[in-house]
Structure 1
Amino acid sequence: MSHNYRQPGVVLTDHHFTVPLDHAAPAGETIELYAREVVAGAKAHQDLPWLVYLQGGPGFGANRFIGRQSWLDRALDEYRVLLLDQRGTGRSTPVNRQTLPLRGGPSEQADHLTRFRADSIVRDCESIRPRLTGGAPWTVLGQSFGGFCAVSYLSLAPEGLATAVITGGLPALDAHADDVYRAAYPRIERKVTAHYARYPQDVERARRIADHLLTHDVVLPGGYRLTVEAFQSFGLMLGASDGSHRLHYLLEDAFVRTPQGTELSDAFLEQARSLLSYADHPLYALLHEPCYGQDARPTAWAAERIRGEFPQFDAAKALAGDAPVLFTGETIHPWMFDADPALRPLRDTADLLAAHTDWQPLYDPDRLAANEVPVAAAVYHDDMYVDTAHSLDTARAIRGLRTWITDEFEHDGLRAGAPRVLDRLLALARDEA
């Protein structure tokens, strides 16, 4: 059943869809998908083209906007927008430590999770598209991992697309996870170096916090173990437009004097908990490296293994000398499944996914080379999360794709630069810019 309601300037409709868990077995088990339709209030009864938004991640539900916020304001000028909670996220059938045991043990859970990658998300979109558009193709807007899904869409079902718009999400078509992270660590180091150049006082602050964590057992509210590796993972923030500033403010008042001596403050620990916990997006941790699985090679905890090739990220070695402690970025590590109570029950499942050797291709280079769908993509120069060189290789491989290469924005340009970013990309796709 669909429910209509209003927010300032918009009319919203809740949609619930039943789709196959495995699209290769459509008569088998089903799951539920949730999506929120948004249309400008003045155009609620007009016959408008559809735009489906694919959120970044994996593992995050679609944005919960209020009214015409961010890029949505531009989209609503001409589209009826569908904010899809991709399978396993948001209000769709949830996948987490509480629900996965319903599948059985770790082996059954890992097998279940292999059906939650970009190819299944594309098939979900194709399942629900005719129910909303009457069969007409729609426009897809893919941010980050949503862009990976959009490239899979162009590979698997281009007939369903009128236009594809991608922001910070052109994936390498054939790179193994090792290649992805081998390219990532130098980018991460550049972002950390830039942060310390902006806030040189943070060098000593980070060293002091890291030293404290190496010599104390710190447990956050809720049970998360704050290790020095977990502290380094705060560098994930540096891929966003305001991330360096937020990291600075986090570090500047980390300690407080107590009768027992100097300790990490409750305020710092609470902020750390909210930054580190995967309780509301466990699929991000479980499926991040499987996003890069496309053949018989296991991902095998690639980010952890490849980090060993970059010893400058070893905090203990940095503290033994006078080097700055380097933060890390968008990387998933086995220790996270020991430190985080939301992931701890899923450690064996994660190990099985890391050892999986039957990944199917997510992209079709031949079909992309013959592409006829108008496509435009924003490529952010030195994007911390998605390698620029990989993105440009893929842009050249997709026939007709037009790129906007910019250093004005970080990975979150769609949010930080909206509605200008979406407006420019639509113009590029239409050959109007």
Structure 2
Amino acid sequence: MSQPQQAVPPPAGTRFRADRIDGPDRAGQATAYRQAGLRLADHVFTVPLDHHRPDGEQIEVFAREVTAPGPTAAERPWLLYLEGGPGHPAPRPTDSQLEGGWLARAAHDYRVLLLDQRGTGRSTPLNRQTLPLVGTPRHQAERLPFYRADSIVRDAELIRRQLTGGRPWSVLGQSFGGFCAVTYLSLAPEGLSEVFLAGGLPGLDADAEAVYRAAYPRMERKNTAYYARYPEDEEQARAIGRYLWEHKVVLPGGILLTVEAFQSLGILLGTADGAARLHYLMEGALLSGCRGPELSDAFQHQAQSLLSFAARPLYAVLHESAYAQDERPTAWAAERVRARFPQFDAGAALASPHARLLFTGETIHPWHFHVDPALRPLHDTAHLLAEDASWTPLYDKAVLAANEVPTRAVVYQDDLYVDAGDSLRTAAAIRGARTVVTGEHEHDGLAASGTAVLDLLLAPDRADG
């Protein structure tokens, strides 16, 4: 692909920002604030858009440091946290999350750095409002490959050298953040002292099509478990589906609620409390109003919040590109593979008096760029990206086979989002990697389990090797 248009780079260097001033750090550069007894400091770094052209266009990357105060706090090793996604910013911890959660636990042993991966959160944003500044949809599609895992790793390497003085640091990757960590092990293992992976071991050879061939059967299993738990929801889901089939419903935020969009709420089924959330969402969905049966305002409000990509547009735009590693287009793999699983066809299910309406999971389709106002302006860009055939590898098997970085991973036994079989094959391909396979947690186990999953990662004697 040709290079994107160049913008005037901002001044080089690192800037630090803070809210409540707690005084400068020992280097006299940063100020900090306190929350739930922890010290937080906000950092902004300047990095090249294209690391192969370091003097070209520059963007900003934001990160928040979290440390438990103490006389040795400044001497603790650094732990870089990479969030799931793609396209999700790092978590914004509240007091209740900091008290007793994994982050507070980690902050007593490490200086934790929560990274807003490029294009997300407070890093230079990439969305429907900013991408048009790049130019045409073609220019936008040419820019987006710079937001994959390899660029995120190179950002991390620049940041590491600024913060640690060149010393290697630890990395904790959740989901897609784990994919990035495996890329890190491939591209720059010298920057790593240890790696922790929570539901984040990718298939080294699994392209988008292979990922979804394995994913749809897992989605069906999650549906079976859901309807076994809430059998009354079979008819409720069909009733909502029939209503949507017969009516055009535009949610308060502008999302067109089609049957397929309703099915995509099944993404909840991969989280610890997702089945209960979906059940409670549906139980009050339909009511008898002055115009007859209709969807309640409460249901519409909650569905809008769950379905909108306004806060994470890159998740939709780059999702299948996260699996691309050769000169083949992704070509809307989830949509193509879905056609091989007719049990997910909403029209056929609603036409049959006995068929279940099945929910889907972590899949992105062309129709997302029609129904969601946050994605509609990116419709042409997304289609061009799906046609791209110039992808490069994200993992180096030879480097991973010779790995010397201590690597520990938690694999979730029936993870809706990441295939456990792929994860275990990858663990076997990384020299010295140790794994814990657990059926006690869903994909969000790191955040949902308090400190349980982090404790598994920090206790290598519990790993099964």
| Normalised-by-shorter TM-score class | over 0.9
Contact 1:375/1:429 (8 A) holds in 2: no
Change (3 A) 1:371 1:249: same
**2:346 is aligned with 1:315:** yes
Q: 1:419 corresponds to which residue?
A: 451
- SS of 1:36 mapped into structure 2: strand
Q: 2:105 corresponds to which residue?
A: 74
1:197 and 1:61 map into 2 onto residues whose CA distance is: 35
Q: 1:9 corresponds to which residue?
A: 37
Deviations 1:289-311 (A, max 9, x none): 00010000100000000000000
Contact 1:173/1:363 (8 A) holds in 2: yes
Q: 1:64 corresponds to which residue?
A: 92
Q: 1:253 corresponds to which residue?
A: 284
2:139 and 2:250 map into 1 onto residues whose CA distance is: 31
- SS of 1:46 mapped into structure 2: helix
- SS of 1:42 mapped into structure 2: coil
- SS of 2:75 mapped into structure 1: coil
**2:137 is aligned with 1:106:** yes
Q: 1:84 corresponds to which residue?
A: 115
Alignment of 1:278-357 (within 5 A): 278-321=309-352, 322-357=354-389
Letter in 2 for 1:350: A
1:429 and 1:96 map into 2 onto residues whose CA distance is: 44
Shift in Å, 1:421: 1.2
Contact 1:85/1:91 (8 A) holds in 2: yes
Contact 2:456/2:462 (8 A) holds in 1: no
- SS of 1:200 mapped into structure 2: coil
Shift in Å, 1:416: 1.6
Residue identity over aligned pairs, in percent, reads 64
Shift in Å, 1:41: 2.2
1:186 and 1:106 map into 2 onto residues whose CA distance is: 35
The higher relative CO (CA closer than 8 Å, separation ≥ 6) is in 1
Unaligned runs of 5+ in 2: 1-14, 19-31
2:73 and 2:400 map into 1 onto residues whose CA distance is: 36
Which among 269, 273, 279 is matched to residue 300 of structure 2? 269
Shift in Å, 1:222: 1.9
Q: 2:401 corresponds to which residue?
A: 369
**2:422 is aligned with 1:390:** yes
Q: 1:22 corresponds to which residue?
A: 50
Letter in 2 for 1:209: I
Deviations 1:81-135 (A, max 9, x none): 0000000000000000000000001010011101000000000000110111111
2:339 and 2:464 map into 1 onto residues whose CA distance is: 47
Shift in Å, 1:161: 0.4
Letter in 2 for 1:10: L
CA RMSD of aligned residues (A): 1.4
2:188 and 2:73 map into 1 onto residues whose CA distance is: 29
1:327 and 1:314 map into 2 onto residues whose CA distance is: 10
Change (3 A) 1:23 1:404: same
The range that moved more, 252-261 or 209-218, is 252-261
Q: 1:153 corresponds to which residue?
A: 184
Q: 1:121 corresponds to which residue?
A: 152
2:309 and 2:463 map into 1 onto residues whose CA distance is: 41
1:241 and 1:29 map into 2 onto residues whose CA distance is: 41
Unaligned runs of 5+ in 1: none
Q: 1:409 corresponds to which residue?
A: 441
For this pair of structures, how many residues does the alignment match? 433
Change (3 A) 1:114 1:350: same
Letter in 2 for 1:26: P
- SS of 1:61 mapped into structure 2: coil
TM-score (norm 2): 0.91
- SS of 2:147 mapped into structure 1: coil
1:52 and 1:332 map into 2 onto residues whose CA distance is: 28
Letter in 2 for 1:184: A
Shift in Å, 1:66: 2.7
Change (3 A) 1:77 1:45: closer
1:297 and 1:290 map into 2 onto residues whose CA distance is: 11
- SS of 2:74 mapped into structure 1: coil
